[in-house]
Amino acid sequence: MKSNRERLREIASVLASYGFGHIYRTRLRTKHKEQDARNLRLAFEELGPSFIKIGQIISTRQDLLPPSYINEMSKLRDDAPPFPYSDIKRIFREEFKESLDDVFEWVDEKPIASASVAQVHRARFVTGEEVVVKVQRPEIEENLLRDIKLFSRIVSMAPETVKEMLVDVEAAFKEIEETTRRELDFRNEGQALIKFKHLNKDNDAVTVPTPYLPYTSKRVLVEDYVSGIRSLNLQQIREEGYVKKDIAEKLVFSILSQVFKDGYFHGDPHPGNIILSNNKIVFIDFGIVGELSEAVKKDLIKMMRAIVFEDIDQLMNLLLQMAITKEKVDRFEFSEDLDDFYQTYISKSFGQINLSTFFSDVLHVTRKYKMVMPNDFILLAKTLTIVEGVVTDLHPDINIMEIASDYIKTSDDIEIFEAFSASKVKMGAYKLAADSLKFPSALKRALDTVNNGRLMVHIDLVHFEEKWREVNKMVNRLVFAVIIAALILASAIIFVMAEAAGVSIFAIIIFIGAGIMGLWLLISIIKSGTL
């Protein structure tokens, strides 16, 4: 294992070789954004499994980087060279104090998958159950956590123009580190499988493998082997008689149920984590799981109501309420951006809205004003974007927004209208009656005020002080011009009168006095800084 200094030097060298030396200069390159994003992905690939994993985690946070970078991070392949089978045997013995040969009838030494964090082998228990054994890559925890800290250190040394690409650099890397620690403990994944299986026990279309908890530890996870069509292979789907539209609709309904019924959803449902087996969708790899807080879940349900009624204005208000503001927002500019956003979607029906573009636009607006959306909302946005891509590949004519609308109207999980209790109705009726009784007297007082000439109108101007300074400058310049014009006109008249006849000394004194006062006014204006 390399020392921190050696690894830091290696990371900096690789980044520089892909053209990222400019991140330490005072100006950020603007001409080659797409190429820079691609180069960053290539640099992460060259830096090995730990950086591939860092990039994948970054890709789940669409609020952290511009869309071009997030798109490239999403392309990172979670493939890595296999590590020796001898390490599998050693790690298993270290975790359970038993040898593989004593526990399993056989273990395939050739892995069926080798990723940045773990390697997976088929096996059979001595009792006959077909399983897979998932073993964590040696030293990946130390390497991954170290690389996160070193990369964070590199970014922290960059100028503010670069760090401004991130909403909150320190919070971002802290969140990445926490996510990584959770994913590196396979006991969390085992519990996630159990919880998901329980929540979906009545769903005939969806299931997950069963983990074997006696052989689940921090670095090892043993679970059922699932045979079937992997990675949603379209040719195999056709050959085995599956209907692509049916698969797509069931996948979308499953995700909607996970979100709105359970508040617990698979956070990375890409094709590699889906198996079609016995007419069921089997989700695997629960390293990333979304768990919605009650507050976010309620806001999402309100958002779905807004979708049903095609009320985009209400949808935007809910998104803004959910955001955490890191610094003061320029409300005038913010309202203009929201209006532009609103105009983009107001002319479309929800069946025409592209979900990934919609969420990307929302997060772009919030990022611009340093407004941070809740982590579970961001993960949900990423999950729905992934599902939309999967559905498009299966059946391009299906639209998630339309399915979501049907789900809302037919599901018992969401009430289209707010529930009203008897006490709420009584209280509302009482308030309405009380306000109705007050209305005639309030109207009479208002009319009396107008009739007596005592009506006062209060107007709030956005950026009033700035606008008043501009008005003040304009008036001062106008006064300046009038004084100059008056002096020119007066001097001309005096000159003409001096040639025709003698001029009164008194008139000259008045002229000089007016000139002095005008000069004094000009000096005052200049000193005030509003000229």
Grouping H, G, I as helix, E, B as strand and the rest as coil, residue 207 is strand
**What is the distance between the alpha carbons of residues 188 and 261, in angstroms, rounded to a whole number?**
22
264 bridge partner residues: 291
Q: Which amino acid is at 38?
A: R
User: Residue 77's pLDDT is what?
Assistant: 74
Give Cα 17 to chain centroid, integer Å.
30
Q: Does 91 have pLDDT greater than 90?
A: yes
Cβ distance 207 to 280 under 8 Å?
A: yes
pTM of the model: 0.73
Res 75: pLDDT: 86
Distance CA 278, CA 228 (A): 8
Query: What SS3 string covers 370-385?
Result: CEECCHHHHHHHHHHH
Q: What angle do CA 369, 373, 376 make, to 5 degrees?
A: 165
- Could you tell me which of 380, 206, 187 has the C-alpha nearest to residue 286? 187
pLDDT of residue 27: 44
pLDDT: which is higher, 497 or 512: 512
pLDDT at 470 over 70: no
From the CA atom positions of the chain, what is the Rg in Å?
34
Residue 310 amino acid letter = E
Contacts of 523 (CB under 8 A, 6+ apart): none
End-to-end C-alpha distance for the chain, whole angstroms: 67
Question: At 348, is the pLDDT very low, low, confident or very high (cuts 50, 70, 90)?
Answer: low
Please tell me the predicted confidence (pLDDT) of residue 498. Answer: 61
What is the mean pLDDT of the segment spanning 188-212?
96
> b/e for 296-312, b at 16 or more Cβ within 10 A?
bbebbbbbbbbbbeeeb
**Residue 280 predicted with pLDDT over 50:** yes
Q: What tokens does 275 get?
A: 């198996």
- pLDDT band for 108, please (50, 70, 90 cuts): very high
Angle subtended at Cα 237 by Cα 232 and Cα 239, rounded to the nearest 5 degrees: 150
Report percent pLDDT > 90 for the chain.
35
Looking at the chain, the whole-number percentage of residues with pLDDT higher than 70 is: 71
In 3D space, the residue among 203, 178, 199, 217 whose CA is nearest the CA of residue 95 turns out to be 217
Average pLDDT, the chain: 80
Highest mean pLDDT among 22-36, 73-87, 481-495: 73-87
Question: Among candidates 364, 338, 348, 339, which has minimal Cα distance to 399?
Answer: 348
Q: Residue 481, SS3?
A: helix
Could you give the 3-state DSSP secondary structure of residue 462? coil
Mean pLDDT of 221-238: 95
**What Cα–Cα distance (Å) separates residue 203 from each residue in 223, 258, 356, 363, 505?**
20, 11, 27, 33, 107
